[in-house]
Structure 1
Amino acid sequence: MIHFVGAGPGAVDLITVRGQKLLETADQIIYAGSLVNPQLLACAKEGCRILDSAGMTLEAVVAAMEEGEGQGWMTVRLHTGDPSVYGAIREQMDILAQKGIAYDVVPGVSSFCAAAASLQAEYTLPGISQSVIITRMEGRTPVPDKQKIADYAAHQATMVIFLSASLLDGLQAELLRGGYAADTPAAIVYKASWPEEQTYTCTVGTLAETARRHAISKTALIVVGKVLGPAYDRSLLYHPAFTHGCRQAAPEDQQYGDHIGQETEP
């Protein structure tokens, strides 16, 4: 059996309970060494075979999985964050399915969630942004048409940009070209949740300069949007004049609550 496990964003205590239990009982762990905190491997049992996939090809990873199956081992394929976000797991799962090898996926805490926690930010603020766009800058790996940074910037939603810390001059230009104003709040979060985590607040117009000043060129997320600013509307969910399926507005609040919304589920 192959278990694809999300290691979480970096801090060893942010892996899920299920993921940790699988690590503790695995006969083989294949981990993304360039991104996963190696301290997570301390819970591996004695005799567990541990492979760093940073220098391996897809074919080599699958071969190791097949070897483990032949030995009757339980294998954990340990990916950073949540495996569904830039985890390259689909190609692995398809090959395993073709070979008749059973697998499952254990979700993890994504670094984009850890970045919000580091910034003490909420990505979805009433009146500001109700959508979060997770994307990356086009580099050596192409991006499909209509999914470029400038295309998404036109929506003015919150953006969390992966795999782009070394491309910030181009990223900044694309964000501006897409419609973000130069003074739009932004932030760089280096190694969210790791002991060496650093956060730098800036603007779209100063992204590249900020990264250069702090020597950030990898392992960082870029957050862009007005949710990082001070303004937002009050949530209706907890407003005293807003009736929904779990709470009836008090009669004395109705006089100023008519404009807030209709009776509905939250």
Structure 2
Amino acid sequence: MKTLTSHPQADRDTAAPGKVWFVGAGPGDPELITVKGRALIERAGAILFAGSLVSEAATRWAPVGCVIVDSKDMTLEQMSAWLIEQAGRCETVVRLQTGDPGLYGALIELVQPLDAAGIAIEVVPGVSSAMASAAAAVESLTLPEVTQTVIFTRVEGRTPMPEGESLEVLAAHHSTLCIFLSITLMGRVTAALTVAGWSPDAPIVVVHKASWPGEEKIVRGTVSTIQSLCREAKIVSQAMIIASPTLGARQWTTLAKSKLYDASFTHRFRRASVPVSNLIQETP
């Protein structure tokens, strides 16, 4: 357990415990934390941040006297005990997690001991690395008449997948796949896509440390080439794998346009400006 800053803080005037806030730090760039998340850091008495995944720069707004601890070498039990202890002396305690706390964030495992201790908690969402990766690559995860579905998943490793959630099964939908925590298992990823009927030429983009200043890498390839390309780029951690029929649409010469912005489409904010015969109109 590494303590970056540890200044004694006077005991609170009230005996009631403070609140623990689970804050999504976002994908890496400290400026992508939400305004609410930053405001909580600015008034926090104690911060426990996931140093293996969250940039230390995300704690730079903490006030003087804030106790800041890196949790990368702590167990869940140690983290829960630390949060409970700090809630006894601080009004605002922040658990700073990578991306969004609700995605692969051990949120419930940490919340349950706090519930048992009678400590109030609240969750502040954050920008997921899936969104940041798509933004870095200037890709859309959905497109009209291509796919309207996005699946967040991972490849089975030490953590088993529930029945019916193997990548082969999910990939059979041929929608967008955002594959977390699987860069070291790229061979399994491409094998699963192949079994599910994806073409060897189907595009894949891998983004390492999306949005991290000076550290981001973007690798574009196909089902047949992406593993070797990632190996050449020495990408072995903190990478998002996106497989989608929408990839590369920026260069397409033909593209189905969204009906919402079509001049012939009426919705509650705008009347159609051009006549259309036999058009079935929808209200979003």
TM class by shorter chain equals over 0.9
Q: Is the 1:183–1:205 contact (alpha carbons within 8 Å) kept by the matching residues of 2? A: yes
Q: Deviation digits for residues 220-251 of structure 1, max 9, x if unmatched?
A: 1000011003354111111112222222223x
1:224 to 223, 237, 243: 243
Q: Tell me the distance in 1 between the aligned counterparts of 2:275 and 2:210.
A: 42
Map of 1:254 onto structure 2: 276
Of residues 61-70 and 9-18 in structure 1, the stretch that sits farther from structure 2 once superposed is 61-70
Q: Deviation digits for residues 139-162 of structure 1, max 9, x if unmatched?
A: 111111110110110000000000
Map of 1:124 onto structure 2: 142
1:62/1:183 Cα in 2 relative to 1: closer, same or farther (>3 Å)? same
2:95 aligned with 1:77, yes or no?
A: yes
Map of 2:265 onto structure 1: 242
Instruction: Tell me by how many angstroms 1:25 deviates.
Output: 1.0
2:228 aligned with 1:209, yes or no?
A: yes
Q: Tell me the distance in 1 between the aligned counterparts of 2:243 and 2:210.
A: 16
Q: Tell me which protein shows more helix as a share of its residues.
A: 1
Q: Deviation digits for residues 178-236 of structure 1, max 9, x if unmatched?
A: 22111111101010001111111111221211111111111110000110033541111
In structure 2, runs of 5+ residues without a counterpart are 1-18
Instruction: Tell me by how many angstroms 1:98 deviates.
Output: 1.6
TM-score by length of 1: 0.94
Q: Tell me the distance in 1 between the aligned counterparts of 2:233 and 2:166.
A: 27
2:24 aligned with 1:6, yes or no?
A: yes
Q: Tell me the distance in 1 between the aligned counterparts of 2:160 and 2:282.
A: 43
Instruction: Tell me by how many angstroms 1:73 deviates.
Output: 4.2
Q: Is the 2:203–2:243 contact (alpha carbons within 8 Å) kept by the matching residues of 1? A: yes
2:172 aligned with 1:150, yes or no?
A: no
Q: Tell me the distance in 2 between the aligned counterparts of 1:234 and 1:17.
A: 33
Q: Matches of residues 184-203 of structure 1 in structure 2 within 5 Å?
A: 184-195=202-213, 196-203=215-222
Map of 2:73 onto structure 1: 55
Q: Tell me the distance in 2 between the aligned counterparts of 1:86 and 1:72.
A: 27
Q: Secondary structure at the match of 1:170?
A: helix
* Amino-acid identity (%): 43
1:109 to 127, 130, 142: 127
Map of 2:51 onto structure 1: 33
Q: Secondary structure at the match of 1:234?
A: coil
Q: Is the 1:2–1:102 contact (alpha carbons within 8 Å) kept by the matching residues of 2? A: yes
Q: Tell me the distance in 1 between the aligned counterparts of 2:156 and 2:97.
A: 22
Q: Secondary structure at the match of 1:200?
A: strand
- Read off the aligned partner of 2:33 and give its amino acid letter: I
In structure 1, runs of 5+ residues without a counterpart are none
**CA RMSD, 1 decimal:** 1.3
Q: Tell me the distance in 1 between the aligned counterparts of 2:90 and 2:126.
A: 26
Instruction: Tell me by how many angstroms 1:4 deviates.
Output: 0.3
Q: How many residues align?
A: 261
Q: Tell me the distance in 2 between the aligned counterparts of 1:264 and 1:244.
A: 7
Q: Deviation digits for residues 103-129 of structure 1, max 9, x if unmatched?
A: 100111111111111011111101111
Q: Is the 2:176–2:243 contact (alpha carbons within 8 Å) kept by the matching residues of 1? A: yes
